[in-house]
Amino acid sequence: MKVVKYSEAEYPQVVERLVNRREVDFGAQDETVRAILAAVREEGDAALLRFTNQFDRTQYGAEDLEVTPDEIKAAYSQVSPAELDALKLAAERIRSYHEKQKQDSWNYRDGETGLGQMIRPLEVAGLYVPGGKAAYPSSVLMNAIPARVAGVDTLVMCSPTPDTQTSPHSLVAADLAGVDRIFKVGGAQAVAAMALGTETIPRVDKIVGPGNIYVALAKRLVFGLVDIDMIAGPSEILVVADDSARPEFVAADLLSQAEHDEEAVPLLVTCSAELAGAVAEELDRQKKKLKRQAIINESLNNKCHLVVTESLDEAVDLANRIAPEHLELAVADPQALVPRIRNAGAIFIGHFTPEAIGDYLAGPNHVLPTSGTARFSSPLGVYDFVKKTSLIECTRESLRGLGEACQTLAQMESLDAHANAVKIRLEGGNL
């Protein structure tokens, strides 16, 4: 980590690497994941149990795979009142926000022709949640609640239980979010089971949720059999700041991303060289008090950039080029910049809006496009769990009005059967 002026000769190459950062290389894991998918396709539960017991060091039979109501009840007893209140508050706020995203079917008449769009929820959605000792209840809420708001009929969740350890917080979050069925399986085998279906786990229409490189590759390989949310890259934050920003706030937010993993990308883009220097000092001071110092140091040493631009305009332009997952506007007049942001997964406006509040309970989804895909992608939402069907209804009269042009277009493409399907009706076929 060092402070660098954007105008320096060598720095444009660094920026280009940030702008054009590539997807994860799956080469080493490809053969393993393909073998797991093939085995689950051929053997169903037998393969699922074999891989689960091997990788998670369990001794499950098919009857052990699904979490029971008693296990969910027991999970509540392991969650403190303060934790339960926080989960309920987060669930309430996430649900309230996503309710605003619901869309209605619509139709209208163009003369005698009826046209419209029918919106229907997916029938079955699958949620993958990392498990074991690690607890990611926020991921459960963020992925499950939009599906439930969308009206998905059945919501299935898979989460590994290494050494049979289950996260009570994730189970409680799943119950609060309205997950219907929870299974104690993880990894590529869980993705395969949800995509293909087994004797125990139902086939789903879409798989969402984060995971390791094996999960990400499995999701990529089953895409087409089912839909997926995205192939997420490392977490990233970009803070656009001017001299009104408080360096301790900015440093704290950069560290909140650096602690995710060694590949996390914390960026500061500022028109104030003085602020950049102060943030560098704060990073060094604050990181010494944090638990995940090894991970943080790796991220700061290899991925963190503190960029000094000539102006705030230049900082905004650079932010739009990078298209970050999380964008903070730590400036004196943040609302003036919001309309100028074209590419960002989520925008955190003002000095008192830390990115962490969006991770947990502000309301908007924390599943966001990474690796520059905010140029063309959106956060996970209710719209990801519905499908849209076009509606067309012609009367004899409206077909007569449109038929001649339709036949002409079909003949332009040498598709005479298309033209005939219109012509036979216009010439008085028995209807």
Candidates 260, 326, 351, 366; catalytic one = 326
- Verify whether residue 326 is a known catalytic residue: yes
How far apart are the C-alpha atoms of 105 and 100, rounded to whole Å? 15
Residues in the chain: 431
How far apart are the C-alpha atoms of 211 and 278, rounded to whole Å? 35
Pair 215, 191: CB distance under 8 Å: yes
Question: Tokens 């943030």 correspond to what residue?
Answer: 279
Q: Which residues pair with 236 in a beta bridge?
A: 265
The strand order across the sheet containing 154-158 reads 181-183, 154-158, 124-128, 206-208, 227-228
Task: Find the helix packing angle between 81-99 and 168-177, rounded to 10°.
Answer: 40
The tally of CA atoms less than 13 A away on the side-chain side of residue 381 is 17
Chain center to CA of 311: 33
Candidates 236, 325, 328, 355; catalytic one = 325
- DSSP strand pairing (236-241 vs 265-270): parallel
Pair 275, 245: CB distance under 8 Å: yes
- Verify whether residue 169 is a known catalytic residue: no
How far apart are the C-alpha atoms of 342 and 277, rounded to whole Å? 28
H-run or E-run covering 267:
strand 265-270
The tally of CA atoms less than 13 A away on the side-chain side of residue 39 is 18
Q: What sign for the dihedral angle of Cα 247, 248, 250, 255?
A: positive
Q: How far is the CA of 105 from the CAs of 86, 117, 390, 415, in angstroms?
A: 35, 6, 10, 33
Q: What sign for the dihedral angle of Cα 358, 81, 148, 178?
A: positive
Q: Which residues pair with 247 in a beta bridge?
A: none
Pair 271, 314: CB distance under 8 Å: yes
Helix (H, G, I), strand (E, B) or coil at 364: coil
How far apart are the C-alpha atoms of 421 and 184, rounded to whole Å? 53
Tell me the catalytic residues.
325-326
